[in-house]
Structure 1
Amino acid sequence: MKTLSLVISLVCVEVSFSAQYCPRGWSYYPPTGSCFTTLNKHLYWDEARRECASLARGSSLASVSTREENNFVINLIKRHGANEKVGFWMGANDLRREGVYVWLDGYKVTFTDWSKTPVVQPDDWKNNEDCVHWWKANGYSWNDAHCNKTGGLSAVCKMPAL
């Protein structure tokens, strides 16, 4: 009778990677290492700002810096905020100086996607529109609106991935 010997060789490999993730209910955007979520309730702009800030450390009303990131947010809105009839607040505003749009962190807005119809935006209608939202009626292009828009709007929040 022959005895069969089996030699098993184990090779250990150390793998190192940086895993980033978002909390449940948030969507990950890899190019910026950011997470986004929607607030699907009607809020004035400042209420939305405060509520986003309360969700997680580093969370605020959303900012976007490229067309690709803007499109990512629009797709998120379409998936998770379909019931919103008007739009979603973002962090862009010209509260400090009319016509100079900045994000909540103070950085100047460099990428824009202002609506071009029915009226070219931003228009500061009645000298009283200082907060920006994705406007559903115009394919989620941007519109400046009164920060205490009657009935409020939903919002998009952003935070760094964990």
Structure 2
Amino acid sequence: MQAAWLLGVLVVPQLLGFGQGARGAEREWTGGWGGAVEEEQDSEALMLKHLQEALGLPSHTGEDNFTGITLDEISLDEGLWGPEEERGEPKGKEATTTPAPSPSPSPSPTQEDTVTYILGRLAGLDAGLHQLHVRLHALDTRVVELTQGLRQLRKAADDTREAVQALQEEQARAGRERGRLEGCLKGRRVGHKCFLLSRDFEAQAAAQARCVARGGSLAQPADRQQMEALTGYLRAALAPYNWPVWLGVHDRRAEGLYLFENGQRVSFFAWHRAPSPSPHPLSPSQPNGGALENCVAQASDDGSWWDHDCERRLYFVCEFPV
């Protein structure tokens, strides 16, 4: 049976081709060659008949029957090679589509690749750290420069402050010297001191501060001679009016304990005394203010002392040492 199959595979195509060639030759060469062609066709038909019998194919009649046989009619797959099940092929007519192979996964990194990657990252970190060190060094240098500049500015500020302080001290000293000269030139000199009247209204403490700024203090008549000289100076300066003028005498520390501005205790007093036997209600005997009136002013007409509230604003008289 296998031999028949092989014979069919080898002979049938040649016979088909030979038959077609014979028919073409017949159509081309009609005439004198007709008898030879007919003999050739008869022998071809006889060979095909024997082949059909050998292969078990159905017989066909007529001249052109064999030429109409195609490979579709002669199932070479079934007649020659056997059923599809024996060849291990599926029975379905539609060809199964073979899925496209999936792309192969990328190879996993090796240990050398990992080490190279780590070394590259470390190199980048080292470069960044180097840049940070460079910037830090630049910042340190800048900080040092700024610190030095700040130190120089502080030194210059200290020098300026000292210069200003020295200038202020010199100005104060010049003011005191000028005040002493002015007090002796414009005021009244008595022994080793000079008295100078100020026609500005000030409280007792403010008047003392102004006298000190000019190199003196509020007047502190220590004896009768100084008291009479001061009385004559004030009367001449303020006549014909009677003005109270601050002196440097007070009892702020203790009631009834009168002190000069330099802290010495007053030993000579010139308090006003009311006339008797009929005193005037507006001129009582002094001191009469108690704890409410702790500073002493001198009347410009007769030189008597009166106690007043220290915050009252009056003229004042300064004294300057000669």
TM-score, normalization: structure 2?
Answer: 0.39
Counting only pairs closer than 5 Å after superposition, residues 68-147 of structure 1 correspond to structure 2 as 68-82=225-239, 85-117=242-274, 118-125=283-290, 127-136=291-300, 139-147=302-310
Residue pair 1:39, 1:154 contacting (<8 A) in 2 also:
yes
Tell me which residue corresponds to 1:26: 187
Deviation at 1:85, TM superposition (A): 4.5
Identity %: 25
Tell me which residue corresponds to 1:64: 221
Q: Which amino acid is 1:24 matched to?
A: L
Residues 45 and 157 of structure 1: CA distance in aligned 2, closer, same or farther (over 3 Å): same
Count of residues in correspondence between the two structures: 133
What are the superposed Cα offsets for residues 82-102 of structure 1, whole Å, 9 maximum, x if unpaired? 376531000000011111000
2-side partners of 1:160 and 1:106: how far apart?
17
Tell me which residue corresponds to 1:41: 200
Residue pair 2:184, 2:195 contacting (<8 A) in 1 also:
no
2-side partners of 1:111 and 1:97: how far apart?
18
Which residue of 195, 201, 209 maps to 1:50?
209
Residues 61 and 85 of structure 1: CA distance in aligned 2, closer, same or farther (over 3 Å): same
Query: Which one has the bigger strand percentage?
Result: 1
Structure 2 residue 311 is the aligned partner of structure 1 residue 157:
no
SS in 1 for 2:208: helix
Residues 52 and 81 of structure 1: CA distance in aligned 2, closer, same or farther (over 3 Å): farther
Query: Which one has the bigger helix percentage?
Result: 2
What are the superposed Cα offsets for residues 52-107 of structure 1, whole Å, 9 maximum, x if unpaired? 11112xx0001011112111001111122337653100000001111100000000
Residue pair 2:238, 2:300 contacting (<8 A) in 1 also:
no
SS in 2 for 1:154: strand
Residues 84 and 124 of structure 1: CA distance in aligned 2, closer, same or farther (over 3 Å): same
2-side partners of 1:143 and 1:153: how far apart?
12
1-side partners of 2:316 and 2:203: how far apart?
9
Residue pair 1:84, 1:154 contacting (<8 A) in 2 also:
no
Q: Which amino acid is 2:284 matched to?
A: V
Q: Which amino acid is 2:304 matched to?
A: S
2-side partners of 1:72 and 1:34: how far apart?
11
Q: Which amino acid is 2:198 matched to?
A: L
2-side partners of 1:113 and 1:62: how far apart?
14
Structure 1 stretches of 5 or more lacking a match? Answer: 1-20
SS in 2 for 1:96: strand
Residue pair 1:61, 1:158 contacting (<8 A) in 2 also:
yes
Q: Which amino acid is 2:249 matched to?
A: A
Q: Which amino acid is 1:27 matched to?
A: R
Tell me which residue corresponds to 1:11: none
Deviation at 1:122, TM superposition (A): 1.0
2-side partners of 1:51 and 1:97: how far apart?
25
Residue pair 1:37, 1:157 contacting (<8 A) in 2 also:
yes
Structure with greater Cα Rg: 2
